[in-house]
Structure 1
């Protein structure tokens, strides 16, 4: 049996990990979903510039935006880290996190994630305290 190219293995692992719990009823079901996802992938392959169209909504939480952005990144093969960082920054609405990012540009996706988590926690704590008032 021929093995898949290394980047296909990574893509299929990301896809598999992103499946909702209990969304696969059988091995046959898994096979059908896998083929539906990857057999036509080359026809609809997206490129890094497509990330520039992803914008954080006016009332969208940072957590929700980053989650949506990360899902879009899964559709792009061999996405350079710098392109992902630039796309994410480009789509941020003005606010504390975007100001922080503009002051000190992140050098890795890990750094973006770590810095984002701080602001996500601040947003969530603020939202919780507002609902308890």
Structure 2
């Protein structure tokens, strides 16, 4: 009797017995970090067979509270709760800071396809955001879906110039364009791969490419040899007996050259 007198429920609620054949459902406990309205909707749908038994609805609801929320429940004034409506009111008031922001259909106009985003991913993001809106207006959603596309994309043109489509039909059309975009990208990647395979490497180009001078090399050397940054090359290598020792090479500073320009 002491426990009953300290309970937030009236005696009528505390003394209620479960209906015959009642089996306690498995509830997801409420810990105070979610929308209280969502928890109430979840609870009512789980207890739909007993919603006409107001006292029983109160008593079972208390078992769905956990942790700090259960502690809060026991701080309510003794015998202050006389109905499920009163319990719902104090519960939602206490945890109102967790109320979800109700989004309207206009929220979908903020969903815009990024420059490098695929059509498939854009549609996926749009669907996720639309699912968050209760009672979403289909006409507004259709306009927002079209608005989020780049104006130069072929899908945008079809949605503007073609016959009016419902949103689900637009999703189907977008899927076809996604397949088309992916096929084009695949062909582009394959072409680039073949081009790279056919292109000469840098080493090959270095072997075949030579600098052409319009001025004799000896004249260029005379202008550069006294510059502080100019460095002479290392001595020539190879079979020196095959070189022309009657000529002097200024570039190599040696009595060995095959070039008359040096």
1:42, distance to aligned residue in structure 2 (A) = 5.4
1:75 aligns with 2:132: yes
Which of 123, 147, 158 is residue 90 of structure 1 equivalent to?
147
Per the alignment, do residues 56 and 105 of structure 1 end up closer, same or farther by CA in structure 2, a change over 3 Å counting? Answer: farther
CA distance in structure 1 between the partners assigned to 2:176 and 2:119 by the alignment: 11
1:69, distance to aligned residue in structure 2 (A) = 0.7
1:131, distance to aligned residue in structure 2 (A) = 2.0
1:132 aligned counterpart, secondary structure: helix
Which aligned pairs between 1:31-42 and structure 2 lie closer than 5 A?
31=28, 36=34, 38-39=38-39
Equivalent pair of 2:34/2:99 in contact (CA under 8 Å): no
Query: TM-score, normalized by length of structure 2?
Result: 0.36
Aligned to 1:120: 178
Equivalent pair of 1:97/1:116 in contact (CA under 8 Å): yes
Aligned to 2:107: 50
Equivalent pair of 1:89/1:101 in contact (CA under 8 Å): yes
CA distance in structure 2 between the partners assigned to 1:82 and 1:75 by the alignment: 17
1:59 aligns with 2:116: yes
Query: TM-score, normalized by length of structure 1?
Result: 0.67
Equivalent pair of 1:106/1:112 in contact (CA under 8 Å): no
Could you say which structure has the larger radius of gyration?
2
2:139 aligned counterpart, secondary structure: helix
CA distance in structure 2 between the partners assigned to 1:55 and 1:106 by the alignment: 21
1:106, distance to aligned residue in structure 2 (A) = 3.3
Unaligned runs of 5+ in 1: 1-26
2:100 aligned counterpart, secondary structure: coil
Which of 171, 182, 187 is residue 129 of structure 1 equivalent to?
187
Aligned to 1:21: none
Structure with more relative contact order (C-alpha pairs < 8 Å, separation 6 or more): 1
1:118, distance to aligned residue in structure 2 (A) = 1.4
Per-residue CA deviation, residues 79-123 of structure 1 (Å, 9 max, x unaligned), is 121111111011111211111111115331221012112111101
CA distance in structure 1 between the partners assigned to 2:34 and 2:149 by the alignment: 32
CA RMSD for the aligned pairs?
A: 2.6
Aligned to 1:111: 169
Normalized per residue, the structure richer in helix is: 1
Unaligned runs of 5+ in 2: 1-25, 40-95, 192-262
Equivalent pair of 2:159/2:165 in contact (CA under 8 Å): no
